[in-house]
Amino acid sequence: MLYLVGLGLADETDITVKGLEVVKKAERVYLEAYTSILLVDRGKLEAFYGRPVIEADRELVESGSDEILAGADKTDVAFLVVGDPFGATTHTDLVLRAREMGIETKVIPNASIMSGIGCTGLQLYNFGQTVSMVFFTENWRPSSFYDRIKENVQLGFHTLVLLDIKVKEPSLENLARGRMIYEPPRYMTVAQCASQMLETEEERKEGVYGPDSLAVGAARVGAADQKLVAGTLKELTGVDMGRPLHSLVLLGRKTHDLERDYIREFAVDKATFDASWQKSYGATS
Amino acid sequence: MLYLVGLGLADETDITVKGLEVVKKAERVYLEAYTSILLVDRGKLEAFYGRPVIEADRELVESGSDEILAGADKTDVAFLVVGDPFGATTHTDLVLRAREMGIETKVIPNASIMSGIGCTGLQLYNFGQTVSMVFFTENWRPSSFYDRIKENVQLGFHTLVLLDIKVKEPSLENLARGRMIYEPPRYMTVAQCASQMLETEEERKEGVYGPDSLAVGAARVGAADQKLVAGTLKELTGVDMGRPLHSLVLLGRKTHDLERDYIREFAVDKATFDASWQKSYGATS
């Protein structure tokens, strides 16, 4: 049996009791360590589980899935995924490959950022599609996220923006030279995301949002030092939310008073928050 | 401290290790038991936790929150919620009340159906807004869900439809007579949902979907007997998915081949599935 086990969002104790039983009994345990991270390292997990954990990077999962699946028709293999195994990153390809090989699979769900973002007090029913924001470079500034946010904004929905992480990625220069030397990990911050959003609006000029649009920054959802900040996009370009992971929610206009009351508590500046709110939000559907 | 602890979706072992620690140490433990249910009863939870659990019905949470919050400024109170505390049902009102009383709160996230539905293999990025379907009665057949699905369909998104449950609700007749006698619990099935969707399309005639539209029914997500069925809405009106809880996803046209490969495996009839797919799906954005 191949078990895909969700680890939740913050630390080693966010695994479910059911998931922990699987991890303790499995023959081999892999940790998917390239699309998201916990706030604790692999050593902490190994100590908590009382057993070794094999780090599975992108190469191993995408080209070496046979190694992961080897023998899983007879014994149990656990594949650990930060968040939920079918959340922000969907490991359907691994399950499809297992099916082809006649290996049974079982998923142990857990919190995903796609639902955990509810901790902002914003109602998940009021969210439209989720978008991703990648690190802009000098020559690559993809703005497809802008079109998607536009669809949500037109319907009055909130948009969850998932922020890029670069873990164990070779630099373009090293790739060109055929060297597998990895860059230090990078994690996009709420401030960087807000800046890139505003830059894109300045280029596209379709008025999808602006410096006064309200958003909520969320850092380390589910952790003891979880931090939430509400403010205008302009204000958020200047906030320091601390260590990763960060996410951002752009508010839609279809908001409920309970949502306002909830997020106003952690506004950067209650006066600008109230002014922006008064001007553009609170329309009920 | 008031802890809002997510219990996950299926049984007593879906609580996280972190959540279980809170439950074991709290002074009082309440179980929110009216917006969703686990597949095990309160007795099973009490045996697993080794302590009593107080059932919190709608009356207690909405009008008696002072009782729940009493003393929580000095000791720990745990409020258990099936799924995630800020998932399909948002308990922001309880947190706001606690804030007013100067009581700190902490949320322990868990799997919610809003992300757990990823177990269908359908990508959460391709979902638009989530809608709810209530039991139709002779005189009350609200179709606002239809307008929301329309918005999703026009953009090509999947729609998660959450199905009504009636737990500990007095009948209208008994309410009128001032008697608090409760109806037996009722849980909407995938078949009932598909029927009500088709009835509404027949009334509204806006062509948002039809008998040949593809959908996925999901029952008991995360449980050992989880069941997934893919088929046309017409086919789904005839499926028996077994005991609750059920959910349904109406497919949007912006689908990925991996999604097709994943759900085709549990199609009611692979021939009608392929025919419907060929006709209306697979457009990439």
- Band of pLDDT at residue A285, cut at 50, 70 and 90: very low
Residues in a beta bridge with B215:
B231, B250
Nearest CA in chain B to A10: B109
Region B178-191 average pLDDT: 86
Residue B180 has pLDDT above 80, yes or no: no
- What does each C-alpha distance from A229 to A217, A218, A240, B100 come to in angstroms? 5, 7, 10, 19
Round to whole Å and give the CA distance between A67 and A77. Answer: 11
- Count Cβ atoms below 10 Å from residue A174 Cβ, excluding itself: 14
Do B83 and B8 touch, CB atoms closer than 8 A? Answer: yes
Round to whole Å and give the CA distance between A111 and A115. Answer: 7
Residue B193 has pLDDT above 90, yes or no: yes
Residue A42 has pLDDT above 80, yes or no: yes
Q: How many CA atoms lie within 13 A of B180 on its CB side?
A: 3
Domain A2-111 in this protein, CATH class: alpha beta
Residue among A14, A190, A9, A223 at smallest CA distance from A116: A9
* pLDDT, averaged across chain A: 93
- Band of pLDDT at residue A63, cut at 50, 70 and 90: confident
Fill in the amino acid letter for B226.
Q
Distance (Å) from the alpha carbon of B177 to chain A's nearest alpha carbon: 33
Which CATH code, of 3.90.70.10, 3.40.50.300, 3.30.950.10, 3.40.605.10, is assigned to A114-282?
Answer: 3.30.950.10
Supply the pLDDT for residue B37: 85
Render pLDDT for A236-279 as a digit per residue (tens, 0 to 9): 999 999 999 999 999 999 999 999 999 999 999 999 999 999 99
Supply the pLDDT for residue B154: 96
Main-chain dihedrals φ then ψ at residue A175, nearest 5 degrees: -60, -45
Round to whole Å and give the CA distance between B187 and B207. Answer: 28
- Band of pLDDT at residue B59, cut at 50, 70 and 90: confident
Question: Which of the residues A99, A127, A129 would you substitute to probe the B interface, choosing the one with the greatest number of B C-beta atoms within 10 Å?
Answer: A129
Supply the pLDDT for residue A284: 52
Do A185 and A165 touch, CB atoms closer than 8 A? Answer: yes
- Band of pLDDT at residue B285, cut at 50, 70 and 90: very low
Q: Do A17 and B18 touch (CB under 8 A)?
A: no
Q: Do A111 and B114 touch (CB under 8 A)?
A: no
Per DSSP, B136 falls in state P
Residue A283 has pLDDT above 70, yes or no: no
The beta-carbon contacts of B59-63 under 8 Å, at least 24 apart in sequence, are B60/B30, B61/B32, B61/B34, B61/B91, B61/B94, B62/B93
Supply the pLDDT for residue A184: 85
Round to whole Å and give the CA distance between B235 and B228. Answer: 14
Region B244-269 average pLDDT: 95
- Count Cβ atoms below 10 Å from residue B162 Cβ, excluding itself: 23
Region A166-187 average pLDDT: 77
Per DSSP, B183 falls in state P
Peptide bond into B245 cis (omega under 30): yes
The beta-carbon contacts of A17-22 under 8 Å, at least 24 apart in sequence, are A17/B12, A17/B13, A17/B14, A17/B15, A17/B16, A17/B17, A17/B20, A18/A108, A18/B11, A18/B13, A18/B14, A19/A108, A19/A110, A20/A49, A20/B17, A21/B13, A22/A76, A22/A78, A22/A108
What pTM does this model have?
0.94
Distance (Å) from the alpha carbon of A174 to chain B's nearest alpha carbon: 32
**Residue A128 annotated as lining a ligand binding site:** no
Round to whole Å and give the CA distance between A147 and A167. Answer: 27
Tell how far CA B142 is from the center of its chain: 19
Fill in the amino acid letter for B176.
A
Q: Where are the domains of chain A?
A: 2-111, 114-282
Do A273 and A267 touch, CB atoms closer than 8 A? Answer: yes
Supply the pLDDT for residue B72: 96
Q: Which residue has the higher pLDDT, A268 or A181?
A: A268
Of the candidates A11, A18, A126, the beta carbon closest to that of B14 is on A18
- Band of pLDDT at residue A153, cut at 50, 70 and 90: very high
Render pLDDT for B210-234 as a digit per residue (tens, 0 to 9): 999 999 999 999 999 999 999 999 9
Round to whole Å and give the CA distance between B188 and A71. Answer: 41
The SS3 of residue B41 is coil
Do A130 and A158 touch, CB atoms closer than 8 A? Answer: no
Q: Do B124 and A96 touch (CB under 8 A)?
A: no
- Band of pLDDT at residue B101, cut at 50, 70 and 90: very high
Supply the pLDDT for residue B284: 52
Q: Which single residue is written with the structure tokens 């958020």?
A: A236
Of the candidates B84, B155, B261, the beta carbon closest to that of A96 is on B261
Q: Which single residue is written with the structure tokens 């449980």?
A: B223
Round to whole Å and give the CA distance between A99 and A181. Answer: 34
Residue A205 has pLDDT above 50, yes or no: yes
Lowest model confidence (mean pLDDT) among A140-149, A194-203, B9-18, B64-73: B64-73
Q: Which residue has the higher pLDDT, A96 or A174?
A: A96
Handedness of CA A218, A221, A223, A228 (dihedral sign): positive
Of the candidates A84, A114, A118, the beta carbon closest to that of B90 is on A118
Q: What is the DSSP string of chain A?
A: -EEEEE-BSSSGGGSBHHHHHHHHH-SEEEEE-SS---SS-HHHHHHHHTS--EEE-HHHHHH-HHHHHTTTTTS-EEEEESB-TBSSSB-HHHHHHHHHTT--EEEE----HHHHGGGGS--GGGB---EEEPPP-SS----HHHHHHHHHHHHT-BEEEEEPEE-S-B-HHHHHTT---BPPPEE--HHHHHHHHHHHHHHH-S-S--TT-EEEEEESTTSTT-EEEEEEHHHHTT----SS-EEEEEPPS---HHHHHHHHTTBS-HHHHHHHHHHH-----
- Band of pLDDT at residue A176, cut at 50, 70 and 90: confident
Supply the pLDDT for residue A36: 85
Distance (Å) from the alpha carbon of A178 to chain B's nearest alpha carbon: 31
